[in-house]
Amino acid sequence: MNDHAPSRTTPDLLQRPLRMLIGEQWVEAASGEVLDVENPASGEVVAAAPRGAAADVDQAVQAARHSFDAGTWHRLSGVRRERIMLRLAELLEQHHQELVHLEVLDCGMPISLAGKAIERGVDGFRYYAGMCTKIYGVTSDISGPRADFHAYSRCEPAGVAALIIPWNSPLVAALNKLGPALAAGCSVILKPAEQTPLTALRLGELALEAGVPAGVVNIVTGLGNEAGAALSRHPDVDKLSFTGSTAVGKQLIRDSATNLKRLTLELGGKSPVFIFNDADMDKAIPRAANAIFANTGQICYAGSRLYIQKESFDRVVAGIADIARNMRIGDGFDPKTQMGPLISEQQQRRVLEYIDLGVAEGAELVEGGGRFGESGYFVSPTVFNTTGKTGRLTQEEIFGPVLAAMPFSGLEDLATLANDTDYGLGAGVFTRDVGNAHMAAKLIRTGNVWVNFYGGTDKSLPFGGYKQSGWGREGGQDGIDAFLEKKSVYIRL
Ligand code: ADP
pLDDT in tens, 87-96: 999 999 999 9
Torsion of CA 290, 293, 296, 302, to 10 degrees: 80
- Predicted pLDDT at 7: 58
Residue 143 has pLDDT above 90, yes or no: no
Q: Which of 57, 61, 164 to mutate to test ligand 1, by most ligand atoms within 8 A of the CB atom?
A: 164
Distance, CA of 320 to CA of 328 (rounded, Å): 14
Nearest Cα residue to 380 out of 366, 367, 368, 395: 368
In angstroms, the CA 272 to CA 446 distance is 10
How does pLDDT run across 57-70, given as a tens digit for each residue? Answer: 999 999 999 999 99
**pLDDT (tens digit per residue) in 304-336:** 999 999 999 999 999 999 999 999 999 999 999
For 12-267+469-492, the fitting CATH number among 3.30.56.10, 3.50.50.60, 3.40.605.10, 2.40.30.10 is: 3.40.605.10
CA of 167 to the centre of ligand 1 (A): 9
Q: Of the residues 248, 296, 351, which should be mutated to test ligand 1's pocket, given the most ligand atoms within 8 Å of the CB?
A: 248
Confidence of residue 1 (pLDDT cuts 50, 70, 90): very low
Distance 32 CA to ligand 1 centre (A): 22
* pLDDT for position 6: 61
- 8 pLDDT tier (thresholds 50, 70, 90): low
Tell me the CA distances in angstroms from 308 to 304, 391, 392, 407, one per residue in order. 13, 19, 20, 5
User: 266 an active-site residue?
Assistant: yes
Report whether 423 contacts 467 (CB < 8 A).
yes
Torsion of Cα atoms, 439 then 444 then 446 then 451, to 10°: -50
* CA-wise closest residue to 220 among 204, 241, 234, 237: 204
Query: Which atom of ligand 1 approaches the CA of 191 most closely?
Result: 14
Residue 364 annotated to the active site: no
Q: Which of 119, 186, 300, 397 is catalytic?
A: 300
Q: Give the model's confidence band at 4: pLDDT under 50 very low, under 70 low, under 90 confident, else very high.
A: low
Question: What's the fold here for domain 272-458?
Answer: Aldehyde Dehydrogenase; Chain A, domain 2 (3.40.309)
Ligand 1 binding residues, C-beta < 6 A: 164-166, 191, 193-194, 224-225, 228-229, 232, 244-245, 248, 251-252
Residue spans of beta strands (DSSP E) within 192-233: 217-219
CA distance 158 to 435: 42
Q: Tell me what the pLDDT averaged over the chain comes to.
A: 96
pLDDT digits (tens, 9 = 90+) for 368-383: 999 999 999 999 999 9
Return the ligand 1 atom nearest residue 194 CA: 16
Which pLDDT does position 145 carry in this prediction?
72
Ramachandran assignment for 369, one of left (phi > 0), alpha (psi -120 to 50 degrees), beta (any other): left
CA of 338 to the centre of ligand 1 (A): 27
pLDDT at 147: 77
pLDDT tens, residue by residue, 223-256: 999 999 999 999 999 999 999 999 999 999 999 9
Mean pLDDT over 291-310 rounds to: 98
Q: pLDDT of 149-204, one tens digit each? A: 999 999 999 999 999 999 999 999 999 999 999 999 999 999 999 999 999 999 99
How far, rounded to the nearest angstrom, does the alpha carbon of residue 461 sit from its chain's CA centroid? 15
User: Which residue's CA is the nearest one to ligand 1's atom 23?
Assistant: 225
Q: Is the pLDDT of residue 210 over 60?
A: yes
Q: Where are the domains of the chain?
A: 12-267+469-492, 272-458
Catalytic residue among 194, 266, 367, 474: 266
Decide if pLDDT at 73 tops 80: yes
Residue nearest to atom 18 of ligand 1 (CA): 224
pLDDT of 2 reads: 47
Structure confidence at residue 355 (pLDDT): 98
Distance in angstroms between the alpha carbons of the first and the last residue of the chain: 57
Report the nearest-CA residue for atom 24 of ligand 1: 229
What's the pLDDT at 353?
98
At 27, is the secondary structure helix, strand, or coil? strand
Q: Which helix (H) or strand (E) holds 246?
A: helix 246-256
Q: Which atom of ligand 1 is nearest to the CA of 192?
A: 14
- Give dist(CA 35, CA 47) in Å, integer: 8
CB 128 within 8 A of CB 480: yes
* pLDDT above 70 coverage of the chain, percent: 98
Atom of ligand 1 nearest to the CA of 247: 6
Determine the distance separating the centroid of ligand 1 and the alpha carbon of 108, expressed in angstroms.
19
Q: Residues with Cβ < 8 Å from 314, sequence gap 6 or more? A: none
Q: How far apart are the CA of 412 and the centre of ligand 1, in A?
A: 39
How remote is the CA of residue 423 from the centroid of ligand 1, in Å? 18
